[in-house]
Amino acid sequence: MSTLQEAAPAPADRAARLDYKWVASGVVMLGAVMVILDQTVVNVALPTLESDFGVSLSSVQWIVTGYTLALASVIPLAGWITDRYGSKRVFIVSQVLFVAGSVLCGLARSNEVLIAFRVLQGLGGGLIMPVGMATLMSVTRPDERGRVMSVLGVPMLIGPVLGPTLGGWLIQAVSWRLIFYLNVPIGIVGVIMALLLLRDSRNPLARREPLDVGGMLLATGSVVGMVYGLSQPSTYGWDAWQTIVPLVGGALLLVVFCLYELRQEHPLIDIRIFRDGAFSAALSLNFLVALSLFGAILLFPLFLQQIQGYSALDAGLVLGAQGLGAGLMMPIAGNLTDRVGARWVVPIGLAILAGSTVWMTTLAADTSRGMIFAMLFVRGLGMGFAMMPSMSSAYVTLAPPLIARATSVANVVQRVASGLGIAIMATVLSARISANLPHGAGAAAAAGGSNLAAAHLPPQVKAMVLEQATKGFDDTFWVAAGLIALAFPLTILLRRALRPQEVRRYALRQLTEGIVLGAAARRLRRAAPSARLEPERAVPVLSQEALTRLRKGQTLLRAGTAAGGLVPRPRPGLATRVSFAVVVVAAVVAMVAATAHGYRTPVVPSLPRAVAQAPAR
C-alpha cells in the first residue's frame, strides 16, 4: 500500500526520508500552533466582546461554544476524509477554511455574525490536528514516533499558557479583532509550506469506500452532545437539565453508534480496533492523562489572578515555566520512548506529575513567584514525560491502514477527556472554596466578583479570606493528584515498537509457511481422492493461506518496522496480569485517599461580626 511504501522507502532513499519526517513535523506543528492558540486566546476577549456588541454574557459565550461544537463535530470524519482524499489535500483545505474563518471573524460586526464565522473556523480547525497526526504516523516507523510526537506536543502544552497572555496583551494594546487576524500570516505560511513540502499519502483501498452516513450522523451527534454537556456544569451545575440532557443523549448515541458500526461493511470507525489490547490500554491512559492534565491546567491561572492578583500578562509569564519544563523534557522522553518503550517512560512522567501536584497542595496566598515557578517547571517536566509518549504508544501495534481512523478516535477521546477534566476541576474548586470560606465572606467579597484579590475588605479580613480560598485550591489539587494515580496501572499494558530483527524474523517465518503450504497444495492437486481427504476442497484453502502468508512476508520485508502492526503480539502473561491487578488496587486506594483528603471537613475561622454583617460595597 502507498502508506507502507512511503513510510519505508528503499535504503538508498532512507536519508531523504529521515529528513522528511522532520519537515512534515514542522509543517504539522505550525498548523497545530494556530489552532491551539486560537482555542485559548478568544476566552480572554469575551468581556470586551460583551461590551462592544451590547449582548449578555450567555449570548457571547456562544462564540466559544459554537467553535468548540464545530471543532468536535468534524473530528470523527477526519479518518475517512484522509483515507479518501489524501492527507496533504485535506490538511491544506482545512487550513484555508480556518484562515478564511479567521478573516471573517475579524470583520464581524455583530455577535450573531461572529458566532457563524467561528463555526466555519471550527470546521477547518477540527481537521488540522487529527489529519496532522495521521500524516506524521504515515511517514514514520513505530520506533521513531516518540521523537516525532514530542514535536507535536509543544503547541499542545504551550498553547494554553501563551494564548491567554497573548490575547490579553493584544486586546489591551490594540483591538480584539487582532486575535483573529493573527491567524492569517501563520495560516498563509502554513498553506505555502504544506503545498511545497508535504507529500501526499492515502489508502488506495479506502478510496472506494462510500461514506458511512448513518455512522457520521450518530458519531457527530454523540460527540457534540457530550462536549456541549461538559461545558454546562460551570454555568448550571451537574444536576440541571441543560447538563443532563446533552450528556445522556450523547452517551445513548454513542451506544447506538457502536452497535450500528459493528453491522457495517465500510464503517466510519472500525469499532473492532478496540480488540487490540495495547491500543485500548493506550487510549484509556490518554483519557486519564488528558483528564488530569487539562483539568489541573485550569487551576493555576485562576489562583494567580483571583488570589494573588496577577494580571493576565504576568500570570502568563509565570505559567510559561510549565511549557519550559515540558519543552525541555519532551525530546528526551521521545528518545527514550523509541529506545525502551512507553511502558518505562510514562510511569516516570506520572510520578513527577503526581509529586508536583501534591507539592501544589502546599500553596498559600503569599507563596512566592519563585516557588510557583519551580512547581510549574517540575509539573512541566512530568507533562513532557507522560503526555506524548502515551499518545505515540497507541499506534505501535496497529496495522498502517487503520492509523488514519485511529487518530480520529484518539482526538475525540482527548476532546471529551479535556472537557470532562475542566468540568470536574471547576466543580470541585467552586465547592471547596465555598466550604473553606468563612460564613458571610461571599457577600463581603462580592465587590470583587469572582476575583477575591480585588475584594474591598479590611486588610486583616482580606488576608484571612484569601488564605481560606487558597485552601480550596489546595483541596482541589488533592483531587487532581488522585486522578493521576488512576493512570498508573494502564502503563503496564503498553507495548514498545518491534525491533527490525523481530519484524524480519516474523516475515521470514511467514514466507517459509507460505512456501510449505503452497508445496502442499501443489502436491494435493496430483493426489487421488480418499475417504479422509478431498483435494478439490483442500487445495483452494491451502493455496489461499499460502498466498496470504507470502504477501504478508513480502510486505513486512519491504516495509520493515513501519508495518510492525501486522505482526501479532502475544497476550499479556500471568505475571503481567497479576501486576496489573495489584497496581489497580493500589491506584484506587491512592485515588480514594487523595480525594477524601481533598474533601476533608475544613477548619473555618469566623469573620469579625461587624464585617460578616456589613453589606457589600
Residue range 416-465, pLDDT digits in tens: 888 788 888 888 888 888 888 877 655 455 444 456 777 777 788 788 88
Query: Quick one: pLDDT at residue 440?
Result: 60
* Local structure of residue 440 (DSSP, 8 states): T
Residue-wise pLDDT tens digits, 259-268 = 998 888 888 8
* Local structure of residue 450 (DSSP, 8 states): T
Report in angstroms the alpha-carbon separations of 271 from 204, 215, 434: 21, 11, 43
Grid cell 484453502 is found at: 541
Residues 40 and 469: their CA atoms lie apart, in Å, by 25
Residues 48 and 113: their CA atoms lie apart, in Å, by 16
Query: Quick one: pLDDT at residue 446?
Result: 45
Residue-wise pLDDT tens digits, 177-193 = 888 998 899 999 999 99
Closest alpha carbon to 338 in 497, 493, 490, 494 = 497
Would you say the CATH fold of 276-497+572-617 matches that of 1-211? yes
Residues 23 and 29: their CA atoms lie apart, in Å, by 10
At 608, is the pLDDT very low, low, confident or very high (cuts 50, 70, 90)?
Answer: low
Closest alpha carbon to 391 in 360, 428, 346, 427 = 346
Residue 561 has pLDDT above 60, yes or no: yes
Domain layout of the chain by residue ranges: 1-211, 213-267, 276-497+572-617, 500-566
Residue 213: CB partners within 8 Å, gap ≥ 6?
A: none
C-alpha cell at 184: 492569517
Total residues belonging to the chain:
617
Grid cell 502442499 is found at: 520
Residues 274 and 267: their CA atoms lie apart, in Å, by 14
Query: Quick one: pLDDT at residue 352?
Result: 95
* Local structure of residue 176 (DSSP, 8 states): T
* The Cα angle at residue 441 between residues 435 and 446, in degrees rounded to 5: 115
CATH of domain 1-211: 1.20.1250.20
Report in angstroms the alpha-carbon separations of 179 from 46, 50, 103, 164: 12, 16, 10, 10
Q: Find out whether 310 and 304 touch, Cβ atoms under 8 Å.
A: yes
Q: Find out whether 199 and 6 touch, Cβ atoms under 8 Å.
A: yes
Residue-wise pLDDT tens digits, 91-127 = 999 999 999 999 999 999 888 899 999 999 989 988 9
Amino acid, single-letter form, for residue 562: A
At 293, is the pLDDT very low, low, confident or very high (cuts 50, 70, 90)?
Answer: confident
C-alpha cell at 418: 479535556
Angle between helices 14-41 and 62-74 (to 10 degrees): 150
Query: Quick one: pLDDT at residue 165?
Result: 74
CATH of domain 276-497+572-617: 1.20.1250.20
At 253, is the pLDDT very low, low, confident or very high (cuts 50, 70, 90)?
Answer: very high
Closest alpha carbon to 468 in 452, 444, 454 = 452
Residues 387 and 418: their CA atoms lie apart, in Å, by 13
Closest alpha carbon to 590 in 483, 492, 491 = 483
Q: Find out whether 473 and 435 touch, Cβ atoms under 8 Å.
A: no
State percent of the chain over pLDDT 70: 89
At 204, is the pLDDT very low, low, confident or very high (cuts 50, 70, 90)?
Answer: low
* Local structure of residue 201 (DSSP, 8 states): -
Average pLDDT, the chain: 83
- Specify the higher pLDDT residue, 599 or 277: 599
Q: Find out whether 41 and 106 touch, Cβ atoms under 8 Å.
A: no
Residue-wise pLDDT tens digits, 353-379 = 999 999 999 999 889 999 999 999 999
- Specify the higher pLDDT residue, 5 or 614: 614
At 309, is the pLDDT very low, low, confident or very high (cuts 50, 70, 90)?
Answer: confident
* The Cα angle at residue 480 between residues 474 and 485, in degrees rounded to 5: 130
CA end-to-end span of the chain, whole Å?
A: 71
Question: How far is CA 591 from its chain centroid?
Answer: 22
Burial 135-151 (b: 16+ CB within 10 A, else e): bbbbbbbbbbbbbbbbb
Report in angstroms the alpha-carbon separations of 278 from 158, 303, 357, 407: 29, 38, 28, 15
Residue 24: CB partners within 8 Å, gap ≥ 6?
A: 135, 136, 139, 197, 198, 199
Residue-wise pLDDT tens digits, 2-58 = 444 444 444 444 444 447 888 888 899 888 888 888 877 787 777 788 878 888 766
Residues 459 and 457: their CA atoms lie apart, in Å, by 6
Phi, psi (degrees; rounded to nearest 5) at 154: -60, -55
pTM for this structure?
0.82
Residue 344: CB partners within 8 Å, gap ≥ 6?
A: 336
What radius of gyration, in Å, describes the C-alpha atoms of the chain?
Answer: 27
Sign of dihedral through CA atoms 243, 246, 248, 251?
negative
Residue-wise pLDDT tens digits, 121-166 = 989 988 998 898 888 888 888 888 888 887 777 776 667 667 777 7
Query: Quick one: pLDDT at residue 588?
Result: 95
Residues 126 and 72: their CA atoms lie apart, in Å, by 6
Q: Find out whether 406 and 345 touch, Cβ atoms under 8 Å.
A: no
Q: Find out whether 342 and 392 touch, Cβ atoms under 8 Å.
A: yes
Query: Quick one: pLDDT at residue 6?
Result: 41
* Local structure of residue 306 (DSSP, 8 states): I
* Local structure of residue 398 (DSSP, 8 states): S
Question: How far is CA 506 from its chain centroid?
Answer: 33
Residues 18 and 506: their CA atoms lie apart, in Å, by 25
Report in angstroms the alpha-carbon separations of 298 from 40, 110, 305, 426, 466: 11, 29, 12, 8, 18
